[in-house]
A and B are shown apart, each in its own frame.
Chain A
């Protein structure tokens, strides 16, 4: 990609924007806002990666973070002691050591950025960065890696299938401890899994 003024402007905006929104993460008082400021920061980083001709990496970063930050926000609201996040709460702990660590690592990384020698040969327009990246990362083990990835996904789906109430030990509702999930189901005697009652709507398979 050749350097243009528009590209420079977007680069600067994305860089400054991602630093500012990363700073807002620690200044806001709500967990949902903190999660989405962090997402905004990652989107800025993703745009920079796209401008650096690593468009696949940049886009995948944004793709992953969109879902992840929502899940993080939901989980934080769920698990925090502060119900529903109504009371303003500070997003930082151990302020002094955290500030020190932050400043030191920022300076160190900025130093690397200033000192390091970056290659300045332009990328040829017909380069295929995505394919090259795949070769570089995985090389000959692509098949192995993909198989492992799909196996992991299948494991996830399998564990979810087991965790639903229609798990491998039968309908969880018919033998769960009181109170039953479905009030219409009588509470079964302990340890005795009832046979599923015949479904009056023949052909329908649910619950």
Chain B
């Protein structure tokens, strides 16, 4: 008992392994939590002591929330960071402890919950789902396993996979998985139904999680730019920050977790009014990442998008396929700054990486040069994923149409990188789905 108590005391001092379930408006606050020295954001709920719901999650995702919750080992706790966006109900988690306030308050609450679990007798959160078999199988079949013969029945409660021809014309089993909405290698809030043969993707459907509530997140500078003039400096800093945060996410997928924290730290420092040294550091970071030779091979020729397959897609993804399209070139304020779009020819994940990081560097320069210039309100603003005019469909919807065809035929590791390289935002998909269907 003495050993266990000593271990518990030591464990209470550990960085808290926390599994994040970001809801509406929770994606970028969740990113910032990665930088806290008191937390360790883990990629599997099997490793966490605390599950943290960031932002609003509607009742539509109750089952998924419960599933994730029950995968945490005991002792466990679940917390909800209420962003206080108003009109949002608490997430459908009966044992969730509500936390309000800023990042420091949330980190404090998470650490307190962790220490309470390990040393102060805080009760572990009980399971939310009943431990039941997905199908009735016991006692059926010759071994009581639920099926007969080679391929019959639902052995042990799971139906056997169906078969389909693979890319080489062989008949192989298909594994159908529903992944998300909080699988760390997919954009938070995205539900992906994928058919796999081996780990080669055969078919993909993407949908936003039903737990995403449109309009629950506060409007960012890009949304404001649709309806009112905003300072170019602020807009461009937000763009640089967005691209750097995105690069941090991609680095995790490439296995460079420590480096991604360095990039995240550079990214969150990019705010209006930041010191010039901070901005210069961010620009150097982005420039070095864009040209890093060691990062080429996992992304080169992955997720090729020819200019002819772009469809409605604009923004960085189109510019990476050699299409010179940037809504900023129409804006007289940008033209007066001598703005030119950053483009690449290759159309692969590496080209998208270089375009985004090249744009981050360019944005930081623009922000420094822009002074107090404002955007023109009669021009469509160029968001970080492409132009999005008020009332129109979001850039993510066009990307979501492009993505399934892009992923088919890729191995899982490449498919994940290809999907991340598109920078889909599930909240935008949810917002489009919620709009009255006047244009499809």
Contact = CB atoms under 8 A, between A and B. Distances in A.
Given A182-B304, A206-B297, A87 B151 contact: yes
A83 B151 contact: yes
Interface of B is mostly: loop
A83 B161 contact: yes
Given A84-B161, A87-B152, A88-B145, A201 B408 contact: no
Given A200-B345, A201-B296, A179 B158 contact: no
Interface string A177-207: 0011111110000000000000011001011
Interface in B285-331: 296-297, 300-301, 303-306, 309
Interface in A136-194: 179-185
A105 interface: no
Contacts of A84: 160-161, 173
A81 interface: yes
B198 to A, nearest CB: 9
A181 B167 contact: yes
B422 to A, nearest CB: 14
A179 B408 CA distance: 10
Interface residues of B, number: 35
Contact of A87 (B160, B346, B347): B160
Nearest to A29: B143
A112 interface: no
Contact of A204 (B160, B297, B304, B305): B297
B350 interface: yes
Q: What bracket does the count of chain A residues touching chain B fall in? A: 20 to 34
A184 B304 contact: yes
Given A200-B346, A201-B346, A86 B160 contact: yes
Contact of A206 (B150, B153, B301, B309): B301
A109 interface: no
Contacts of A184: 303-306, 309, 347, 406
Contacts of A99: none
Contacts, number: 67
Contacts of B305: 184
A84 B406 CA distance: 27
A184 B301 CA distance: 10
A86 B158 contact: yes
A206 B286 CA distance: 26
A183 B163 contact: no
Given A183-B405, A183-B408, A206-B300, A82 B151 contact: yes
B402 to A, nearest CB: 11
A84 B305 CA distance: 34
B304 A82 contact: no
Given A83-B161, A88-B143, 13 more contacts: A89-B150, A179-B409, A183-B405, A184-B305, A184-B309, A185-B304, A200-B344, A200-B345, A201-B296, A201-B300, A204-B296, A206-B301, A207-B301
30 contacts: A80-B150, A81-B150, A81-B151, A82-B150, A82-B151, A83-B151, A83-B161, A84-B160, A86-B158, A86-B160, A87-B151, A87-B152, A88-B155, A89-B150, A179-B167, A183-B408, A183-B409, A184-B305, A184-B306, A184-B309, A184-B406, A185-B304, A200-B344, A201-B301, A201-B350, A204-B297, A204-B300, A204-B301, A206-B300, A206-B301
